Structure 1
Amino acid sequence: MVEQFVGTWTLVSSDNFDEYMKAVGMSFASRQMGNLAKPNLVIIVGADGVITIKAESTFKTTSIKFKLDEEFDETTVDGRNVKSIFTLENGKLVQKQTWDGKTTTLDREVQDRKLVARCAMDDVVAVRTYEKAA
């Protein structure tokens, strides 16, 4: 059920994120901003089944809208044009991005009242943990 993801989540820890950003090909300047940003994730599910994930930070706010199991075009925060698809697998919200023959996977799961996002590119894995805002 996607409902467990709904709400506002605040980043509380980030492990190996710089290495992950390097692995997907982000520039030094983009990585510097990515390392400094402490985004809030706002996740909403509309009555029409459209899911919105908004990442809000002091640097930039981005938003994507999608339906589960439907591929869509996404421009990432660092300007990559990717094909994205979200699926629900074993309670995880799994996002797969493909571009230029590359693939990265972002698994989001709620554990112990925290949202744990696991970002994987080849053998590089970053883990970002969010706590639900009151």
Structure 2
Amino acid sequence: MVEQFVGTWKMVSSENFDDYMKAIGVGFATRQVGNRTKPNLIVTVDEQGTVCMKSQSTFKTTEIKFKLNEPFEETTADDRKTRTVVSMENGKLVQKQSWDGKETNIEREVTDGKLIAKCVMGDVVAVRTYVKEA
């Protein structure tokens, strides 16, 4: 199921990400860096079905390893400590992060050879688009 996401993805566009970061509580300085950063997303799956998602940029590299539908503790790029669950819903990889009574979702789907990541916090939606590297 996750196979379509496997590979190295290079970010080509990011819309409304500053508003999304504001909505989840990211401070000004971190947002400035976050808005300039165009990370690569590297997705792998091992024989046990453990998925590894690595976001790699010149500023910061973060990595999460998980099995679908199994909650785990995540430290996000902006240093939030979240309880996270990733599941497959209608062909989308949906990452739900909960912390301090708040919740955000990141929905990733592959469409027309692009990986579209929709970051949703309340009524704020950011869309980040990636293309697969050869």
Q: Compute the TM-score of the two structures, normalised by the length of structure 2.
A: 0.99
Structure 1: which 5+ residue stretches go unaligned? Answer: none
Partners of 1:65 and 1:100 lie apart in 2 by 22
CA deviations 1:103-128 (Å, max 9, x no partner) are 00000000000000000000000000
Instruction: Tell whether 2:6 aligns with 1:6.
Output: yes
Partners of 2:24 and 2:2 lie apart in 1 by 27
Number of equivalenced pairs: 134
Instruction: Tell whether 2:94 aligns with 1:94.
Output: yes
Q: Compute the TM-score of the two structures, normalised by the length of structure 1.
A: 0.99
Amino acid at match of 1:76: T
Partners of 2:64 and 2:29 lie apart in 1 by 23
Structure 2: which 5+ residue stretches go unaligned? Answer: none
Match of 1:60 in 2: 60
Partners of 2:96 and 2:10 lie apart in 1 by 23
Amino acid at match of 1:131: V
Question: Post-superposition shift, 1:24?
Answer: 0.2
Match of 2:109 in 1: 109
Q: Which residues of 2 match residues 32-43 of structure 1 at below 5 A?
A: 32-43=32-43
SS of the counterpart of 2:19?
Answer: helix
Counting aligned pairs with the same residue, the percent is 63
Question: Post-superposition shift, 1:14?
Answer: 0.4
RMSD across aligned C-alpha pairs, in angstroms? Answer: 0.4
Partners of 2:130 and 2:78 lie apart in 1 by 21
CA deviations 1:45-93 (Å, max 9, x no partner) are 0111100000010111110000000000001111111000000000000
